[in-house]
Chain A
Amino acid sequence: MSGHDHGEDGVSRRKVLECMTWAGTGMLWTITGGVPRSLGIIDSAQAATAAAPGMTFLQISDSHVGFDKPANPNALGTLEEAVAKINAMPTKPSFMIHTGDITHLSKAAEFDNAERIISQSKLDVHYVPGEHDFLDEDVKFYRERYGRGTKGAGWYSFDAGGVHFIGLVNVVDLKAGGLGNLGAEQLAWLEDDLRGKSKSTPIVLFAHIPLWTVYPEWGWGTEDGGRALEYVKGFGSVTVLNGHIHQVMQKVEGNVTFHTARSTAFPQPAPGTAPSPGPMKVEDARLRAMLGVASVNFKQNEQRLAIIDTPLQR
């Protein structure tokens, strides 16, 4: 680790990184005329970004810092590669959202390492927690770092570029046999947060576990996610961004676009294709391709995300 920023070592390392396939999430979004559209993963997005006016922001997810199992013995390293890619973008995004599972086991050192790497992007980062971020005994490390100014277990909203962003928490108070959970208190807050907003305000909802039901057999969905979606029903443009399932999936229902992001740490199997949703070990040479640009669904010059369920694996 030490010294890679200096002299020839740094240059050669950078070149190596450039030659490596982009690992992990880096979904770039741009908002044109109030409608977010996906520009695809960073590499593909760069050309489009240069021409696209309006605000851009980045989504990363599931960095699982501390994970060191066979599916990726160096999750911190692939996060670092992701940030290096972000830093190499010709157009700087306005900010970044992180849709949870920053760490693998909620250890202080894992949070510190994640912060050390992600802060190198020099972007404002808006976090929501994953279930892996609430594992410390006192459940305080995430809140101490990212909970300031948030409600309840960490939900909040903010406005940027004419868009209303809402970060939700669906990883606490989970019920036996159930899915992700928002809870009555958060739903009441959400309803109140949206009250009085013009229906033409573009809405971005982001949370760790998908708010739509992807695959309940593996817990991939949110028990009361439908309630949240009812509150945003009348709005002209709604985009729902999630992580948790470590693969790209997207669909459009009416004015709502759903999208899940890749992990920067390890892939997970497509629904039902493995005995469990656990980390999927692929050949070393395939790891980055699994997570990388090759599998991104990229629709150029479309005003909206296309109604596409991206193939789970290519």
Chain B
Amino acid sequence: MKTLNRRDFGVAVAAAILLPATAARADDMEVHIDNFVFQPAEFTVKVGTTVTWTNRDDIPHTVVSAGKFRSKTLDTDDKFSFTFTNAGDYKYFCSLHPHMTGMIKVE
């Protein structure tokens, strides 16, 4: 339970940071996979930010950005992290359920 609370707290903090959409900071970000959706699906971060995806579905997913990064298969509650060291637009998707897409803008 403790980890859950921490995680939810982290989301709240992340959401608060994101509200002014332009005010991206080099803080770590979390993306949750719930109901076959990356949440948040799109956001902006600064170079050096580490983003961590957590699969909270009962079905495995992957996080794949062609030529940029590719997670292993993430079973329930598995995580994948990637640190963005270059600016650019990173479109990604789940290679098992390709209708699941997301985008991270790195400044």
**A interface list, Cβ under 8 A from B:** 69-71, 104-106, 131-132, 135, 137, 174-179, 216-219, 275-279
Contact = CB atoms under 8 A, between A and B. Distances in A.
Interface of B: 35-37, 57-60, 64, 66, 72-73, 75-76, 91-93, 95-99, 101
Given A175-B98, A177-B101, A277 B58 contact: no
Which secondary structure dominates where chain B touches chain A?
loop
Contacts of A135: 60, 73, 96
B75 A219 contact: no
29 contacts: A69-B76, A70-B58, A104-B60, A105-B60, A131-B96, A132-B96, A137-B72, A174-B95, A174-B98, A176-B66, A176-B91, A176-B98, A176-B101, A177-B99, A177-B101, A178-B98, A178-B99, A179-B98, A217-B99, A218-B99, A219-B97, A219-B98, A276-B36, A276-B37, A276-B57, A277-B36, A278-B36, A278-B58, A279-B59
A65 to B, nearest CB: 14
A219 B37 CA distance: 13
A174 B96 CA distance: 7
Given A105-B75, A219-B97, A69 B58 contact: yes
B99 A216 contact: yes
A71 B58 contact: yes
B98 A218 contact: no
Contacts of B36: 218, 276-278
Nearest to A216: B99
Nearest to A176: B93
Contacts of B101: 176-177
A293 B38 CA distance: 36
A300 B58 CA distance: 38
Contacts of B98: 174-179, 219
B99 A276 contact: no
Contacts of B64: 176
A275 B76 contact: no
A137 B71 CA distance: 11
A132 B99 contact: no
